[in-house]
């Protein structure tokens, strides 16, 4: 694919990284290995407090973009927003860095907030115990997954302009349809990036059954749980797996594909969805620059 074609793909994205946004990074002076003064861009990290109606739920550390999607997605992935909940308002106050999500249904999760399982996600991700129980009802669709789509997505995503390529210290998650990236979110924690996508999907009424979720981070239990609860049947990454993540993926029938580098990938769950239609000899080697492993 040519540079112009990559540019056209990036333009087609509904949401994509904005590495030129001055609010997301700052210049910091330092000294390099040779003792020479230098200046680099580093990613901002700021708190965002999320309320559900009148109840404070959590304060998350985030880069600060798309706070409404992050709040709605977090609540949805924690089982605090139900699929049929009607959101009446989402209010973001930039001065006090707070989002309030309001629903028609009265909510009270005081007891639920006391019951948590800490996970290995960046920025201290948490999975509430109720999420584990919710997996029993998950039924993911048996859609096909063409290997040609996987190779095309990896090439496109790994070369798109991003905060990672500019400043590093960040993860990305991309919602895709077949070989087309749709929504690309970045954040200091991979779970935040996924929550932003979940929030976008819920607020936009997007169908998950024919989607692929690509992440630049590890395929952990938290990532698998969030993907399954979102109803997305395929989770892919250029990074590796955790044993618990693979075990849960097999239990719920999620296709997980990791270590996607150049011509290579490994599928550890849901192999029955794969349609091997790509000629591997035509797949280009991985570019020098890629996203965070």
Q: Where do the H-state alpha helices sit in 35-89?
A: 67-77
Q: Is 162 within the bounds of a domain?
A: yes
pLDDT at 258: 97
* Mean per-residue pLDDT, 1-21: 64
* Mean per-residue pLDDT, 43-48: 92
Task: Look at the alpha carbons of 194, 198, 203, 206 in this order and tell me if their dihedral is positive or negative.
Answer: positive
Q: Is 37 within the bounds of a domain?
A: no
Q: What is the pTM of this model?
A: 0.87
* Mean per-residue pLDDT, 231-235: 98
* Mean per-residue pLDDT, 164-193: 89
Query: The domain spanning residue 151 has which CATH number?
Result: 3.40.140.10
Q: Is 117 within the bounds of a domain?
A: no
Q: Is 130 within the bounds of a domain?
A: no
Q: Is 36 within the bounds of a domain?
A: no
Express each pLDDT in 61-115 by its tens digit.
999 999 999 999 999 998 899 989 999 999 999 999 999 999 999 998 877 776 5
Q: Is 278 within the bounds of a domain?
A: yes
Task: Look at the alpha carbons of 18, 21, 23, 24 in this order and tell me if their dihedral is positive or negative.
Answer: positive
Phi, psi angle pair for 134, to nearest 5°:
-65, -20
Contact between 252 and 123 under an 8 Å Cβ cutoff? The reply is no
70 Cβ contact list (under 8 Å, min separation 6): 48, 50, 60, 62, 99, 187, 192, 195, 196, 199
Rounded distance between C-alpha atoms, residue 64 and residue 48, angstroms: 8
pLDDT at 130: 56
Decide the pairing of beta strands 116-118 and 126-128. Answer: antiparallel
* Mean per-residue pLDDT, 195-212: 97
Q: Is 196 within the bounds of a domain?
A: yes
pLDDT of residue 203 exceeding 60, the answer is yes
Q: Is 267 within the bounds of a domain?
A: yes
Q: Judging by beta carbons within 10 Å of its beta carbon (0-12, 13-18, 19+), is residue 58 exposed, middle or buried? A: middle
Angle at 206 (CA atoms; ends 121, 218), nearest 5 degrees? 20
Domain count, the chain: 1
Give Rg (Cα) of the chain: 19
Residue appearing with tokens 């290579």 = 264
Q: Which residue segment(s) compose the domain that 154 sits in?
A: 3-16+140-282
Q: Is 168 left (phi over 0), alpha (psi -120 to 50) or beta?
A: left
Task: Look at the alpha carbons of 218, 221, 222, 228 in this order and tell me if their dihedral is positive or negative.
Answer: positive
């Amino acid at each position: 694919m040519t540079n112009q074609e990559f540019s056209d793909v990036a333009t087609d994205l509904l949401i994509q990284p904005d590495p030129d946004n001055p609010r997301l990074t700052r210049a910091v002076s330092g000294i390099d290995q040779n003792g020479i003064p230098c200046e680099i861009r580093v990613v901002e990290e700021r708190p965002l407090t999320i309320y559900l109606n009148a109840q404070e739920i959590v304060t998350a550390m985030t880069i600060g973009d798309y706070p409404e999607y992050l709040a709605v997605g977090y609540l949805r992935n924690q089982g605090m927003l139900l699929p049929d909940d009607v959101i009446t308002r989402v209010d973001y106050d930039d001065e006090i860095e707070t989002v309030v999500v309001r629903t028609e249904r009265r909510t009270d999760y005081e007891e639920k907030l006391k019951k948590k399982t800490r996970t290995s996600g960046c920025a201290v991700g948490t999975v509430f115990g109720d999420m584990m129980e919710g997996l029993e009802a998950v039924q993911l669709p048996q859609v096909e997954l063409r290997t040609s789509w996987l190779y095309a997505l990896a090439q496109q995503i790994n070369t798109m302009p991003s905060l990672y390529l500019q400043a590093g210290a960040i993860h990305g998650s991309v919602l895709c349809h077949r070989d087309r990236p749709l929504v690309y979110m970045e954040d200091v924690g991979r779970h935040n990036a996924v929550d932003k996508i979940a929030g976008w999907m819920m607020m936009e009424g997007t169908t998950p059954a024919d989607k692929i979720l690509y992440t630049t981070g590890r395929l952990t239990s938290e990532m698998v749980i969030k993907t399954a609860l979102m109803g997305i049947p395929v989770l892919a990454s250029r990074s590796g797996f955790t044993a618990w993540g693979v075990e849960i993926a097999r239990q719920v029938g999620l296709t997980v594909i990791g270590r996607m580098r150049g011509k290579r990938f490994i599928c550890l769950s849901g192999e029955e969805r794969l349609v091997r239609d790509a000629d591997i000899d035509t797949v280009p080697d991985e570019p020098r620059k890629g996203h965070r492993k």
